[in-house]
């Protein structure tokens, strides 16, 4: 009788033991799948309210009509600049990656490296692009163009930097990985 009770308890427990699972199918969990960034745009609004957008497209996504942009600025002029990132790898389903960057602003940071061009840059990000530590990540900036010259600006989007440095305002960082890095030709007249 004692063996019969033990056997009944064992058989009743078997379905519970076999139905337990840790849902581990052997594949790693993707915490933050990396986005494809095909295009980076800088939109400049001058003091008169005129707007000009310059878009860099990754070489593997360019068509035969692509012309590398040259940012044209006027010496002494002040510009409000908005940076935007896109995934246009599927023309039927374009994505604005900037929205994700703002949602994950604690994990992102932009730097601007001016080569042979004098630009006085100020970070002007609002609440949507300022991280939880109060650091403006650089999607919105103000540029004051210096003396007439030709150069370039390298725009880098950094993912999960361990330190975001905004002095000087062009930015620098430690740690992290580069999500996107593009170079625009720059002409100040």
Residuewise pLDDT in 10s, the chain (189 residues) = 444 344 444 444 444 344 444 444 444 333 345 679 999 999 999 999 999 999 999 999 999 999 999 999 999 999 999 999 999 999 899 999 999 999 999 999 999 999 999 999 999 999 999 999 999 999 999 999 999 999 999 999 999 999 999 999 999 999 999 999 999 999 999
Task: Identify each DSSP E strand in the chain by its residue range.
Answer: 39-45, 51-57, 70-73, 78-87, 95-96, 108-115, 119-123, 140-145, 149-159, 163-165, 172-174, 177-188
**pTM of structure:** 0.81
Q: Which two tokens stand for residue 139?
A: 């999607």
Return the CA Rg of the chain: 25
Residue 32's pLDDT is 45
């Amino acid at each position: 009788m004692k063996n019969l009770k033990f056997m009944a308890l064992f058989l009743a427990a078997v379905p519970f033991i076999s139905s337990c699972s840790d849902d581990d199918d052997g594949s790693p969990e993707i915490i933050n799948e990396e986005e494809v960034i095909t295009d980076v745009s800088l939109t400049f609004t001058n003091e008169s309210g005129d707007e000009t957008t310059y878009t860099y497209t990754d070489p593997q996504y360019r068509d035969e009509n692509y012309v590398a942009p040259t940012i044209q600025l006027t010496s002494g002029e002040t510009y409000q600049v908005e940076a935007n990132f896109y995934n246009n790898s599927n023309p039927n389903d374009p994505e604005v990656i900037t929205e994700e960057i703002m949602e994950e602003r604690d994990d992102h940071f932009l730097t601007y490296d001016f080569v042979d061009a004098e630009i006085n840059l100020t970070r002007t990000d609002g609440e949507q692009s300022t991280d939880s530590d109060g650091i403006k990540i650089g999607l919105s900036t103000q540029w004051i163009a210096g003396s007439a010259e030709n150069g370039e600006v390298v725009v880098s989007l950094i993912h999960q930097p361990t330190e975001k440095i905004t002095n000087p305002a062009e930015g620098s960082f430690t740690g992290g990985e580069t999500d996107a890095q593009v170079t625009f030709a720059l002409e100040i007249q």
